[in-house]
Structure 1
Amino acid sequence: MENFDAIIIGGGSAGLAASIALGRSRRSTLVIDANEPRNARAAHAHNVLGQEGISPLQLLDQGRNEAVHYGAQIITDHAVRIEGSSLNGFTVHTETAAYKASRIVLATGLTDQLEEIPGLREAWGISAIHCTYCHGWEVRDQSVAVLGLGPMSSHQALLFAQLSDRVTFVNHHPEHLSAENREILNKSGVVIVEGRVQQLRVDEHGQLDGIVLANGDLLESQAAVVSSRMIANSELYLQLGGTLKDHPMGTFIPVNEMGATDVPGLYATGNAANLGAMVMAAAASGTVAGAALNGDLALERLDSHSSATTA
Structure 2
Amino acid sequence: MSTSTEETRGYDVIIVGGGPAGLSAALILGRCRRRVLVCDSGRYRNDAAVAMHGFLSRDGIAPPELRRLGREQLEPYGVEIRDVAVADVRRDAKRFEVTLEGGERLRSRKLLLATGLVDRLPDLPGLPAMYGTSVHHCPYCDGWEARDQPIGVYGQGCTGVALALNMKTWSDDVILFTDGPSSLSRADAARLARHGIGVREERIARLEGRDGVLERIVLEDGSAVERRSLFLKTKQEQGSELARKLRCKVTEERGVETAARHEETTCEGVFVAGDASKDVLLAIMAAAEGADAAFGVNCALQEEDLL
Q: TM-score, normalised by structure 2?
A: 0.92
Deviates more, 1:145-154 or 1:43-52: 145-154
Partner of 1:126, secondary structure, is coil
Map of 1:48 onto structure 2: 55
Matches within 5 A, 1:292-311: 292-303=296-307
Give the count of matched residue pairs. Answer: 298
Q: CA deviation at 1:67?
A: 2.1
Q: Quick check: 2:116–2:274 contact (8 Å CA) kept in 1? A: yes
RMSD between superposed Cα atoms in Å: 1.6
Identity in percent: 33
Between the aligned partners of 2:132 and 2:185, the Cα distance in structure 1 is: 28
Consecutive unaligned residues in structure 2, runs of 5 or more: 1-7
Within 5 Å, which residues of 2 pair with 1:128-277?
128-175=135-182, 177-203=184-210, 205-247=211-253, 252-257=255-260, 258-277=262-281
Contact 2:119 2:235 survives alignment (8 Å)? yes
Q: 1:115 aligns with which of 100, 107, 122?
A: 122
Amino acid at match of 1:274: K
Structure 1 residue 156, shift from structure 2 partner: 1.3
Report what 1:91 is aligned to. 97
Gaps of 5+ in 1: 304-311
Structure 1's consecutive aligned runs of 4 or more residues displaced over 6 angstroms after TM superposition are none
Which residue does the alignment assign to 1:308?
Answer: none
Post-superposition Cα deviations, 1:41-98, rounded to whole Å, max 9, x if no partner, equal: 211111111211111111111111122222210000010100124x441111111222
**1:102-131 CA-partner distances (Å, limit 9, x unpaired):** 000000001101122222233222211121
Counterpart pick for 1:289 among 290, 293, 296 = 293
Question: Which AA in structure 2 matches 1:18?
Answer: A
Contact kept, 8 Å, 1:122 with 1:202, in 2: the verdict is no
**1:127 is matched with which residue?**
134
**Retained in 2: the 8 A contact 1:255–1:261?**
yes
One-letter code aligned to 1:42: A
Of 43, 65, 75, the match for 2:72: 65
Q: In structure 1, what residue type is equivalent to 2:257?
A: P
Q: Distance in 2 between matches of 1:47 and 1:155?
A: 21
For the structure 1 residues 254 and 39, does the alpha-carbon distance in structure 2 shift closer, same or farther, using more than 3 Å as the test?
same
- Asked if structure 1 preserves the Cα contact closer than 8 Å seen for 2:155 and 2:234, the reply is no
Give distance in 1, aligned partners of 2:223 and 2:50. Answer: 31
SS in 2 for 1:264: coil
